[in-house]
Structure 1
Amino acid sequence: MLNVTNEIQKAFNGDAWHGNHAMQTLNNVKAEIAFEYFIPNAHSIAEIALHLISWTEEVTSRLMGNVASEPALGDWPIPESKTAQAWEKIIFDFKVANEELIRCCGELKNNQFDNELIDKLNPALEAGISNEELLNGLVQHHAYHCGQIALLSKFE
């Protein structure tokens, strides 16, 4: 379905109605603050960005027909290092993950957006969610966490 793919594109690097798209939000973060903990028991901006990458890659995997599971990188990956180069790599990896997702969406036929996922996480569900619902969820996930990043970046 072209409409949901368009929404993914807008959330990633397009004209998002809620404000800055995800790439702009990440690019506005200075490397010096990306790894800081501004709120006790909360994640750093870098951790949130890695979480976004992780789930974007998992959604792509599910769209490719793989069984739904925890992301390969884990739910909340920890940054390998806390340098400006590490922050640049996180932004680059986010870009690549989203470009791959959009490419994968472009390969789906319209009727495949209605296909239900094979859900290893919750086998008790009689009916899983569709690919379209999955993608809409990721759009919301991007918006939610980008809002967190935008707020955290004001602590500098």
Structure 2
Amino acid sequence: MTNEIKKAFNGDAWHGNHVMQILNNVKPENAFNFFIPNSHSIAEIALHLTAWTEEVTSRLMGNLADEPIMGDWPVPDKQTPQYWEKIIFNFKVANEELIRYCESISANQWDDEINEASNVISGKLITKRELVSGLTQHHAYHAGQIALLAKF
């Protein structure tokens, strides 16, 4: 499990460039632009990724599932190259903390259920494995969005 989130974050992802490579290739002057009406900026997507990475770590640690502390779609405080670098740094730190925690989970704990309300559709709780797998997919999905927006 840990290997998959590592690949999506900064490894050899099967879908293409990993999220860190994509973020590092974004020109700071483009990070805060809204290239498509009624959509999110690259900076907002990066903040969203950070928020949910932190929330997944919190859930893995046994905390109740909740909306991320930063909110679902945080709005950038500033629109400067320095703030863009801070956004990338915070995403990196959040993923490194998640990976460190994942590495402490033993093989027989990955199928343990996490502390959250039942899934509305199935009525079944999700496991640590499903949670990290979902975040890996989330990283890949938004990496694709950022890569496309960065081409504008």
Normalising by structure 1, we get a TM-score of 0.93
What is the root-mean-square deviation of aligned Cα atoms in Å? 1.4
Secondary structure in structure 2 of the residue aligned to 1:154: coil
On the 8 A contact 2:2/2:99 being kept in 1, the answer is yes
Q: 1:124 to 1:69 in 2, by over 3 A?
A: farther
Secondary structure in structure 1 of the residue aligned to 2:63: coil
On the 8 A contact 2:51/2:69 being kept in 1, the answer is yes
Quick check: 123-132 or 43-52, which moved more? Answer: 123-132
On the 8 A contact 1:116/1:127 being kept in 2, the answer is no
Unaligned runs of 5+ in 1: none
Secondary structure in structure 2 of the residue aligned to 1:37: coil
Whole-angstrom distance in 1 between the partners of 2:111 and 2:140: 23
Identity %: 68
Deviation at 1:100, TM superposition (A): 0.2
Residue from 107, 112, 117 that aligns with 1:110: 107
Aligned residues: 152
Matched, 1:150 2:144: no
**Structure ranking higher in helix proportion:** 1
2:68 aligns with 71
Unaligned runs of 5+ in 2: none
1:31 aligns with 28
On the 8 A contact 2:110/2:127 being kept in 1, the answer is yes
Residue from 9, 12, 18 that aligns with 1:12: 9
Residue from 51, 54, 59 that aligns with 2:56: 59
Deviation at 1:122, TM superposition (A): 5.5
Normalising by structure 2, we get a TM-score of 0.96
On the 8 A contact 2:43/2:87 being kept in 1, the answer is yes
Structure 1 residues 100-154: Cα deviation after superposition (integer angstroms, max 9, x where no partner): 0000001111111111112148589643100000000001000000000000000
Deviating runs (4+, > 6 A) in structure 1?
none
